[in-house]
Amino acid sequence: MVNKYFVKSVAASLVLSFSASQAFADDVDFLHWWTSGGEAAAVGVLKDDLEGKGIGWKDMPIAGGGGDAAMTTLKARVTAGNAPTAVQMLGYAIQDWGDQGKLANLNDLAASEGWDAVVPSALQAFSKHNGDWVAAPVNVHSTNWVWISKSALDATGGNAPSTWEELVSVLDAMKANGITPLAHGGQAWQDATIFDGVALSLGNGFYKSALIDLNEDALGGPLMVEAFNRMATLRSYVDDNFSGRDWNLASAMVINGEAGMQMMGDWAKGEFLKAGQKPGSDFVCVRFPGTQGSVTFNSDQFAMFSGSGSSAAQEAMASSVMNPVFQSAFNVVKGSVPARTDVPDMMFDHCGKKGMADLAAANAAGSLFGSMAHGHTVRPAIQSAIVDVVSAHFNGEFSAEEAAEEMVAAVAAAR
Ligand code: BGC
Protein backbone atom coordinates (compact mmCIF):
# COMPACT_ATOMS: atom_id res chain seq x y z
CA MET A 1 0.00 0.00 0.00
CA VAL A 2 1.37 3.42 -0.96
CA ASN A 3 1.83 5.60 2.07
CA LYS A 4 0.97 9.27 1.34
CA TYR A 5 3.03 10.58 4.24
CA PHE A 6 6.00 8.64 2.90
CA VAL A 7 5.63 10.11 -0.62
CA LYS A 8 5.50 13.66 0.77
CA SER A 9 8.51 13.05 2.98
CA VAL A 10 10.51 11.66 0.07
CA ALA A 11 9.72 14.75 -1.97
CA ALA A 12 10.61 17.06 0.92
CA SER A 13 13.87 15.31 1.66
CA LEU A 14 14.90 15.47 -1.99
CA VAL A 15 14.57 19.24 -2.17
CA LEU A 16 16.18 19.90 1.20
CA SER A 17 19.79 20.95 0.73
CA PHE A 18 22.31 23.33 2.16
CA SER A 19 24.84 25.32 0.18
CA ALA A 20 28.40 24.05 0.02
CA SER A 21 29.64 27.04 1.99
CA GLN A 22 27.43 26.23 4.95
CA ALA A 23 29.33 26.11 8.25
CA PHE A 24 28.44 23.06 10.25
CA ALA A 25 27.99 22.98 14.00
CA ASP A 26 29.16 19.40 14.25
CA ASP A 27 31.30 17.24 12.03
CA VAL A 28 31.11 13.51 11.64
CA ASP A 29 34.33 11.66 11.01
CA PHE A 30 33.07 8.54 9.23
CA LEU A 31 35.22 5.52 8.41
CA HIS A 32 33.82 3.23 5.72
CA TRP A 33 34.74 1.12 2.67
CA TRP A 34 32.19 2.41 0.20
CA THR A 35 34.51 3.43 -2.62
CA SER A 36 33.14 1.85 -5.82
CA GLY A 37 30.96 3.90 -8.20
CA GLY A 38 27.68 2.49 -6.88
CA GLU A 39 28.82 2.72 -3.26
CA ALA A 40 30.02 6.30 -3.69
CA ALA A 41 26.61 7.22 -5.11
CA ALA A 42 24.99 5.79 -1.97
CA VAL A 43 27.46 7.67 0.24
CA GLY A 44 26.38 10.82 -1.63
CA VAL A 45 22.78 10.23 -0.48
CA LEU A 46 24.00 9.89 3.11
CA LYS A 47 26.22 12.94 2.93
CA ASP A 48 23.46 15.11 1.47
CA ASP A 49 21.05 13.93 4.11
CA LEU A 50 23.42 14.77 6.97
CA GLU A 51 24.43 18.10 5.51
CA GLY A 52 20.74 18.92 5.17
CA LYS A 53 20.57 18.50 8.92
CA GLY A 54 23.60 20.67 9.61
CA ILE A 55 26.06 17.85 10.23
CA GLY A 56 29.34 18.21 8.32
CA TRP A 57 31.16 15.31 6.77
CA LYS A 58 34.75 14.23 7.21
CA ASP A 59 35.14 11.33 4.86
CA MET A 60 37.49 8.44 5.72
CA PRO A 61 37.09 5.96 2.87
CA ILE A 62 39.34 2.89 3.06
CA ALA A 63 39.16 1.02 -0.24
CA GLY A 64 38.74 -2.74 -0.08
CA GLY A 65 35.50 -4.63 -0.59
CA GLY A 66 34.19 -6.50 2.42
CA GLY A 67 35.95 -4.06 4.76
CA ASP A 68 39.09 -5.97 5.82
CA ALA A 69 41.35 -2.97 5.14
CA ALA A 70 38.90 -0.62 6.86
CA MET A 71 38.90 -2.80 9.98
CA THR A 72 42.72 -2.84 10.03
CA THR A 73 42.76 0.96 9.83
CA LEU A 74 40.14 1.15 12.55
CA LYS A 75 42.27 -0.94 14.93
CA ALA A 76 45.27 1.31 14.27
CA ARG A 77 43.26 4.46 14.89
CA VAL A 78 41.74 3.18 18.11
CA THR A 79 45.16 2.05 19.34
CA ALA A 80 46.51 5.52 18.58
CA GLY A 81 43.66 7.05 20.64
CA ASN A 82 42.11 8.56 17.53
CA ALA A 83 38.89 6.59 16.96
CA PRO A 84 36.55 7.89 14.24
CA THR A 85 33.19 9.31 15.30
CA ALA A 86 31.27 6.69 13.38
CA VAL A 87 32.27 3.49 11.59
CA GLN A 88 30.63 1.21 9.03
CA MET A 89 30.67 -2.18 10.72
CA LEU A 90 29.40 -5.70 10.18
CA GLY A 91 27.90 -8.31 12.47
CA TYR A 92 30.19 -9.88 15.03
CA ALA A 93 32.81 -7.14 14.66
CA ILE A 94 30.31 -4.91 16.49
CA GLN A 95 30.20 -7.44 19.30
CA ASP A 96 34.00 -7.58 19.51
CA TRP A 97 34.22 -3.77 19.85
CA GLY A 98 31.34 -3.87 22.33
CA ASP A 99 33.27 -6.38 24.46
CA GLN A 100 36.15 -3.92 24.52
CA GLY A 101 33.83 -1.24 25.89
CA LYS A 102 34.55 1.13 23.00
CA LEU A 103 31.06 1.78 21.65
CA ALA A 104 28.67 4.58 22.61
CA ASN A 105 25.28 3.74 24.08
CA LEU A 106 22.36 4.70 21.82
CA ASN A 107 19.58 3.45 24.14
CA ASP A 108 17.93 6.85 24.72
CA LEU A 109 17.70 7.62 21.03
CA ALA A 110 16.53 4.09 20.22
CA ALA A 111 13.82 4.32 22.87
CA SER A 112 12.60 7.74 21.77
CA GLU A 113 12.44 6.60 18.13
CA GLY A 114 11.02 3.13 18.84
CA TRP A 115 13.77 1.13 17.11
CA ASP A 116 12.87 -2.05 19.01
CA ALA A 117 9.54 -2.27 17.20
CA VAL A 118 10.82 -1.75 13.65
CA VAL A 119 14.23 -3.47 13.47
CA PRO A 120 14.00 -7.25 12.94
CA SER A 121 15.41 -9.30 15.82
CA ALA A 122 17.97 -10.94 13.48
CA LEU A 123 19.54 -7.47 13.09
CA GLN A 124 19.06 -6.37 16.69
CA ALA A 125 21.22 -9.34 17.66
CA PHE A 126 24.12 -7.40 16.14
CA SER A 127 23.02 -3.79 16.86
CA LYS A 128 22.79 -4.50 20.58
CA HIS A 129 25.61 -5.46 22.88
CA ASN A 130 24.53 -6.97 26.20
CA GLY A 131 21.07 -5.56 25.53
CA ASP A 132 22.24 -1.99 24.81
CA TRP A 133 21.86 -0.38 21.37
CA VAL A 134 25.41 0.35 20.15
CA ALA A 135 24.88 0.53 16.37
CA ALA A 136 22.27 1.79 13.91
CA PRO A 137 21.54 -0.58 11.00
CA VAL A 138 21.33 1.25 7.68
CA ASN A 139 20.51 -1.67 5.43
CA VAL A 140 20.28 -5.38 4.82
CA HIS A 141 22.36 -6.87 2.02
CA SER A 142 22.32 -10.50 1.08
CA THR A 143 25.04 -12.57 -0.51
CA ASN A 144 23.22 -15.47 -2.21
CA TRP A 145 22.57 -13.65 -5.48
CA VAL A 146 23.73 -14.11 -9.06
CA TRP A 147 23.80 -11.14 -11.46
CA ILE A 148 23.48 -12.28 -15.05
CA SER A 149 23.91 -10.32 -18.26
CA LYS A 150 20.55 -10.48 -20.06
CA SER A 151 22.11 -10.64 -23.52
CA ALA A 152 24.59 -13.35 -22.46
CA LEU A 153 21.72 -15.32 -20.94
CA ASP A 154 19.54 -14.88 -24.02
CA ALA A 155 22.39 -16.23 -26.12
CA THR A 156 22.23 -19.46 -24.08
CA GLY A 157 18.50 -19.89 -24.60
CA GLY A 158 17.26 -17.40 -22.06
CA ASN A 159 16.45 -19.48 -18.99
CA ALA A 160 17.95 -18.30 -15.71
CA PRO A 161 19.32 -21.30 -13.77
CA SER A 162 17.47 -22.46 -10.69
CA THR A 163 19.44 -25.60 -9.81
CA TRP A 164 23.15 -26.37 -9.60
CA GLU A 165 22.93 -28.55 -12.72
CA GLU A 166 21.19 -25.77 -14.68
CA LEU A 167 23.81 -23.30 -13.48
CA VAL A 168 26.63 -25.50 -14.79
CA SER A 169 24.89 -25.92 -18.14
CA VAL A 170 24.37 -22.12 -18.51
CA LEU A 171 28.05 -21.56 -17.62
CA ASP A 172 29.05 -24.16 -20.24
CA ALA A 173 26.86 -22.50 -22.85
CA MET A 174 28.38 -19.09 -22.08
CA LYS A 175 31.85 -20.57 -22.43
CA ALA A 176 30.87 -22.07 -25.79
CA ASN A 177 29.65 -18.60 -26.82
CA GLY A 178 33.16 -17.24 -26.30
CA ILE A 179 32.74 -15.10 -23.20
CA THR A 180 34.11 -15.50 -19.69
CA PRO A 181 31.25 -17.33 -17.98
CA LEU A 182 31.97 -16.17 -14.43
CA ALA A 183 33.29 -12.71 -13.58
CA HIS A 184 35.22 -12.97 -10.34
CA GLY A 185 37.84 -11.11 -8.42
CA GLY A 186 40.39 -13.34 -6.69
CA GLN A 187 40.33 -11.77 -3.24
CA ALA A 188 39.68 -13.93 -0.19
CA TRP A 189 36.45 -12.14 0.76
CA GLN A 190 35.07 -12.57 -2.77
CA ASP A 191 35.90 -16.31 -2.77
CA ALA A 192 34.11 -16.48 0.59
CA THR A 193 31.09 -14.60 -0.78
CA ILE A 194 30.64 -17.27 -3.45
CA PHE A 195 31.13 -19.91 -0.75
CA ASP A 196 28.10 -18.53 1.16
CA GLY A 197 25.89 -19.39 -1.83
CA VAL A 198 27.58 -22.71 -2.53
CA ALA A 199 27.28 -23.88 1.09
CA LEU A 200 23.65 -22.76 1.28
CA SER A 201 22.88 -24.61 -1.97
CA LEU A 202 23.72 -27.82 -0.09
CA GLY A 203 20.94 -27.19 2.42
CA ASN A 204 19.94 -24.86 5.22
CA GLY A 205 20.82 -27.55 7.76
CA PHE A 206 24.35 -27.89 6.39
CA TYR A 207 24.91 -24.12 6.23
CA LYS A 208 23.77 -23.69 9.82
CA SER A 209 25.58 -26.63 11.36
CA ALA A 210 28.87 -25.96 9.55
CA LEU A 211 29.13 -22.18 9.46
CA ILE A 212 27.05 -21.04 12.44
CA ASP A 213 27.17 -23.93 14.91
CA LEU A 214 30.69 -24.96 13.80
CA ASN A 215 29.76 -28.62 14.13
CA GLU A 216 32.89 -30.66 13.38
CA ASP A 217 31.01 -33.39 11.53
CA ALA A 218 29.56 -30.78 9.17
CA LEU A 219 32.81 -28.83 8.86
CA GLY A 220 34.74 -31.92 7.83
CA GLY A 221 31.99 -34.09 6.34
CA PRO A 222 30.85 -35.15 2.86
CA LEU A 223 28.73 -32.05 2.21
CA MET A 224 31.75 -29.85 2.95
CA VAL A 225 33.77 -31.91 0.45
CA GLU A 226 30.94 -31.39 -2.05
CA ALA A 227 30.95 -27.64 -1.32
CA PHE A 228 34.64 -27.52 -2.19
CA ASN A 229 34.05 -29.61 -5.32
CA ARG A 230 31.45 -27.06 -6.41
CA MET A 231 33.91 -24.23 -5.70
CA ALA A 232 36.48 -25.96 -7.92
CA THR A 233 33.86 -26.32 -10.66
CA LEU A 234 33.11 -22.58 -10.47
CA ARG A 235 36.83 -21.81 -10.49
CA SER A 236 37.03 -23.45 -13.92
CA TYR A 237 34.73 -20.77 -15.40
CA VAL A 238 36.82 -17.79 -14.25
CA ASP A 239 39.24 -16.00 -16.61
CA ASP A 240 43.03 -16.18 -16.20
CA ASN A 241 43.36 -12.62 -14.90
CA PHE A 242 41.06 -12.96 -11.92
CA SER A 243 43.69 -12.70 -9.17
CA GLY A 244 43.36 -9.58 -7.06
CA ARG A 245 40.64 -8.04 -9.24
CA ASP A 246 38.28 -5.74 -7.33
CA TRP A 247 34.65 -6.86 -7.16
CA ASN A 248 33.34 -3.81 -9.00
CA LEU A 249 35.68 -4.53 -11.91
CA ALA A 250 34.18 -8.02 -12.05
CA SER A 251 30.71 -6.37 -12.13
CA ALA A 252 31.96 -4.18 -14.98
CA MET A 253 32.87 -7.30 -16.98
CA VAL A 254 29.22 -8.39 -16.84
CA ILE A 255 27.99 -4.85 -17.53
CA ASN A 256 30.14 -4.48 -20.65
CA GLY A 257 29.37 -7.94 -22.03
CA GLU A 258 32.80 -9.46 -21.42
CA ALA A 259 31.43 -11.94 -18.89
CA GLY A 260 28.17 -13.75 -18.33
CA MET A 261 27.50 -13.51 -14.61
CA GLN A 262 28.79 -12.54 -11.18
CA MET A 263 28.02 -14.22 -7.86
CA MET A 264 28.01 -11.35 -5.43
CA GLY A 265 25.99 -9.60 -2.75
CA ASP A 266 23.41 -7.08 -3.89
CA TRP A 267 25.86 -4.18 -3.62
CA ALA A 268 26.70 -5.37 -7.16
CA LYS A 269 23.31 -4.06 -8.25
CA GLY A 270 24.53 -0.57 -7.32
CA GLU A 271 27.22 -0.92 -10.02
CA PHE A 272 24.72 -2.01 -12.68
CA LEU A 273 22.43 0.90 -11.81
CA LYS A 274 25.29 3.39 -11.76
CA ALA A 275 26.19 2.21 -15.29
CA GLY A 276 22.63 2.98 -16.40
CA GLN A 277 21.56 -0.67 -16.64
CA LYS A 278 18.05 -1.80 -15.79
CA PRO A 279 17.01 -5.02 -14.09
CA GLY A 280 15.01 -7.25 -16.41
CA SER A 281 16.18 -5.67 -19.65
CA ASP A 282 19.97 -5.41 -19.15
CA PHE A 283 20.63 -7.77 -16.28
CA VAL A 284 18.80 -10.46 -14.38
CA CYS A 285 18.93 -11.07 -10.62
CA VAL A 286 18.37 -14.58 -9.31
CA ARG A 287 19.10 -16.27 -6.04
CA PHE A 288 22.13 -18.56 -6.12
CA PRO A 289 20.67 -21.70 -7.75
CA GLY A 290 19.38 -24.09 -5.11
CA THR A 291 19.02 -21.42 -2.42
CA GLN A 292 15.60 -20.02 -3.35
CA GLY A 293 13.59 -19.37 -0.17
CA SER A 294 16.71 -18.87 1.95
CA VAL A 295 18.76 -15.75 2.53
CA THR A 296 22.30 -15.19 3.83
CA PHE A 297 22.27 -11.59 5.01
CA ASN A 298 24.69 -8.95 6.19
CA SER A 299 23.75 -5.58 7.54
CA ASP A 300 25.89 -2.46 7.39
CA GLN A 301 25.59 -0.79 10.76
CA PHE A 302 26.92 2.52 11.99
CA ALA A 303 28.75 2.00 15.25
CA MET A 304 29.63 5.10 17.27
CA PHE A 305 32.83 5.22 19.27
CA SER A 306 32.41 6.57 22.80
CA GLY A 307 34.36 9.68 23.64
CA SER A 308 35.08 10.37 19.98
CA GLY A 309 33.43 13.48 18.62
CA SER A 310 30.26 15.02 19.94
CA SER A 311 27.55 12.66 21.07
CA ALA A 312 24.99 15.10 19.64
CA ALA A 313 26.48 14.59 16.16
CA GLN A 314 26.63 10.83 16.71
CA GLU A 315 22.97 10.75 17.72
CA ALA A 316 22.00 12.98 14.81
CA MET A 317 23.81 10.64 12.43
CA ALA A 318 22.20 7.56 13.94
CA SER A 319 18.80 9.21 13.85
CA SER A 320 19.30 10.17 10.18
CA VAL A 321 20.23 6.69 9.05
CA MET A 322 17.26 5.23 10.92
CA ASN A 323 14.83 7.57 9.22
CA PRO A 324 12.48 5.52 7.00
CA VAL A 325 12.62 8.05 4.15
CA PHE A 326 16.40 7.98 4.20
CA GLN A 327 16.45 4.17 4.37
CA SER A 328 14.39 4.05 1.19
CA ALA A 329 16.46 6.64 -0.72
CA PHE A 330 19.82 5.18 0.36
CA ASN A 331 19.04 1.53 -0.26
CA VAL A 332 17.47 2.15 -3.67
CA VAL A 333 20.92 3.39 -4.77
CA LYS A 334 23.03 0.98 -2.70
CA GLY A 335 21.37 -2.23 -3.92
CA SER A 336 20.43 -3.29 -0.39
CA VAL A 337 17.04 -3.23 1.32
CA PRO A 338 15.91 -1.28 4.39
CA ALA A 339 16.82 -2.42 7.90
CA ARG A 340 13.38 -1.33 9.11
CA THR A 341 10.28 -3.40 8.48
CA ASP A 342 8.04 -0.34 8.00
CA VAL A 343 9.60 1.07 4.83
CA PRO A 344 7.40 0.59 1.74
CA ASP A 345 8.97 -1.05 -1.33
CA MET A 346 7.44 1.38 -3.84
CA MET A 347 10.69 3.21 -4.68
CA PHE A 348 12.58 -0.06 -5.30
CA ASP A 349 13.16 -1.80 -8.62
CA HIS A 350 12.19 -5.40 -9.28
CA CYS A 351 15.35 -6.85 -7.66
CA GLY A 352 14.94 -4.62 -4.59
CA LYS A 353 11.30 -5.64 -4.20
CA LYS A 354 12.35 -9.27 -4.50
CA GLY A 355 15.10 -8.68 -1.92
CA MET A 356 12.58 -7.25 0.54
CA ALA A 357 10.04 -10.02 -0.05
CA ASP A 358 12.70 -12.77 0.16
CA LEU A 359 14.01 -11.34 3.43
CA ALA A 360 10.57 -11.24 5.04
CA ALA A 361 9.69 -14.73 3.78
CA ALA A 362 13.00 -16.25 4.91
CA ASN A 363 12.64 -14.59 8.31
CA ALA A 364 9.15 -16.06 8.71
CA ALA A 365 10.23 -19.51 7.50
CA GLY A 366 13.34 -19.80 9.68
CA SER A 367 15.58 -19.78 6.60
CA LEU A 368 17.30 -16.43 7.23
CA PHE A 369 20.96 -16.87 8.16
CA GLY A 370 23.88 -14.54 8.64
CA SER A 371 26.52 -14.39 5.91
CA MET A 372 29.75 -16.16 6.84
CA ALA A 373 31.73 -14.12 4.31
CA HIS A 374 30.49 -10.83 5.76
CA GLY A 375 30.88 -11.47 9.44
CA HIS A 376 27.42 -12.59 10.52
CA THR A 377 27.92 -16.21 11.55
CA VAL A 378 30.85 -16.24 13.98
CA ARG A 379 33.35 -13.87 15.60
CA PRO A 380 35.95 -12.32 13.26
CA ALA A 381 38.87 -14.53 14.41
CA ILE A 382 37.03 -17.74 13.49
CA GLN A 383 35.52 -16.24 10.34
CA SER A 384 38.92 -15.26 9.07
CA ALA A 385 40.23 -18.81 9.67
CA ILE A 386 37.34 -20.19 7.57
CA VAL A 387 37.86 -17.61 4.81
CA ASP A 388 41.56 -18.49 4.63
CA VAL A 389 40.77 -22.16 3.95
CA VAL A 390 38.11 -21.30 1.36
CA SER A 391 40.49 -19.00 -0.45
CA ALA A 392 43.48 -21.35 -0.28
CA HIS A 393 41.34 -24.10 -1.81
CA PHE A 394 40.04 -21.76 -4.51
CA ASN A 395 43.64 -20.99 -5.41
CA GLY A 396 44.52 -24.67 -5.73
CA GLU A 397 46.40 -25.22 -2.46
CA PHE A 398 44.14 -28.03 -1.27
CA SER A 399 42.01 -30.76 -2.78
CA ALA A 400 38.34 -30.73 -1.68
CA GLU A 401 39.02 -33.49 0.87
CA GLU A 402 42.07 -31.70 2.26
CA ALA A 403 40.14 -28.42 2.47
CA ALA A 404 37.38 -30.08 4.52
CA GLU A 405 40.02 -31.43 6.93
CA GLU A 406 41.69 -28.01 7.07
CA MET A 407 38.33 -26.46 7.87
CA VAL A 408 38.01 -28.56 11.04
CA ALA A 409 41.60 -27.85 12.08
CA ALA A 410 41.47 -24.11 11.34
CA VAL A 411 38.23 -23.61 13.26
CA ALA A 412 39.52 -25.63 16.22
CA ALA A 413 42.70 -23.56 16.32
CA ALA A 414 40.83 -20.24 16.12
CA ARG A 415 38.28 -21.07 18.84
C1 BGC B 1 29.26 -4.40 2.71
C2 BGC B 1 28.68 -3.64 1.55
C3 BGC B 1 29.77 -3.31 0.55
C4 BGC B 1 30.50 -4.58 0.15
C5 BGC B 1 31.59 -4.37 -0.87
C6 BGC B 1 30.08 -5.57 2.23
O7 BGC B 1 30.74 -6.16 3.32
O8 BGC B 1 28.25 -4.86 3.56
O9 BGC B 1 28.05 -2.46 1.99
O10 BGC B 1 29.21 -2.66 -0.55
O11 BGC B 1 31.07 -5.15 1.29
O12 BGC B 1 32.51 -3.46 -0.45
pLDDT digits over 64-97, tens only? 999 999 999 999 999 999 999 999 999 999 999 9
Taking the centre of ligand 1 as the mean of its atom positions, its distance from the CA of residue 34, in whole angstroms, is 7
- pLDDT classification of 24: cutoffs 50, 70, 90: low
According to CATH, the superfamily of the domain at 6-141+299-363 is: Periplasmic binding protein-like II (3.40.190.10)
More confident residue, 302 or 22: 302
Q: Span 291-315, mean pLDDT?
A: 94
Residue 4 has pLDDT above 80, yes or no: no
CATH 3.40.190.10 domain residues, the chain: 6-141+299-363, 143-296+367-414
Q: Residue of the nearest CA to atom 9 in ligand 1?
A: 300
Taking the centre of ligand 1 as the mean of its atom positions, its distance from the CA of residue 116, in whole angstroms, is 25
Sequence letter at residue 235: R
Q: Span 264-283, mean pLDDT?
A: 98
Residue 1 has pLDDT above 70, yes or no: no
Contacts of residue 358, defined as CB under 8 A and 6 or more positions apart, other chains included, come to: 142, 287, 293, 295
More confident residue, 307 or 250: 250
Taking the centre of ligand 1 as the mean of its atom positions, its distance from the CA of residue 90, in whole angstroms, is 9
- pLDDT classification of 301: cutoffs 50, 70, 90: very high
- pLDDT classification of 18: cutoffs 50, 70, 90: very low
Q: List alpha helices for 136-291, DSSP H.
A: 150-154, 164-176, 188-200, 204-207, 216-220, 222-235, 247-255, 268-274
Percent of the chain clearing pLDDT 70 (strictly above): 94
Taking the centre of ligand 1 as the mean of its atom positions, its distance from the CA of residue 40, in whole angstroms, is 12
Does the C-beta of 66 come closer than 6 Å to ligand 1? yes
Percent of the chain clearing pLDDT 90 (strictly above): 89
Q: Span 374-403, mean pLDDT?
A: 98
Q: Span 292-304, mean pLDDT?
A: 98
Question: Which candidate, 326, 304, 313, places its Cα nearest to that of 48?
Answer: 326
pLDDT for position 25: 56
Does the C-beta of 267 come closer than 6 Å to ligand 1? yes
Residue 103 has pLDDT above 80, yes or no: yes
pLDDT for position 166: 98
pLDDT digits over 225-248, tens only? 999 999 999 999 999 999 999 999
Please state the pTM of the whole predicted model.
0.94
pLDDT mean across residues, the chain: 94
Q: Hey, what CATH topology would domain 143-296+367-414 get? A: D-Maltodextrin-Binding Protein; domain 2 (3.40.190)
- pLDDT classification of 339: cutoffs 50, 70, 90: very high
The ligand 1 atom nearest the CA atom of 247 = 5
Do residues 259 and 102 touch, judged by C-beta distance below 8 A?
A: no
Contacts of residue 40, defined as CB under 8 A and 6 or more positions apart, other chains included, come to: 34
The ligand 1 atom nearest the CA atom of 374 = 7
- pLDDT classification of 57: cutoffs 50, 70, 90: confident
The ligand 1 atom nearest the CA atom of 38 = 10
Contacts of residue 38, defined as CB under 8 A and 6 or more positions apart, other chains included, come to: 248, 267, 268, 269, 270, 271, 272, 273, 274, 333, 334, 335
Does the C-beta of 33 come closer than 6 Å to ligand 1? yes
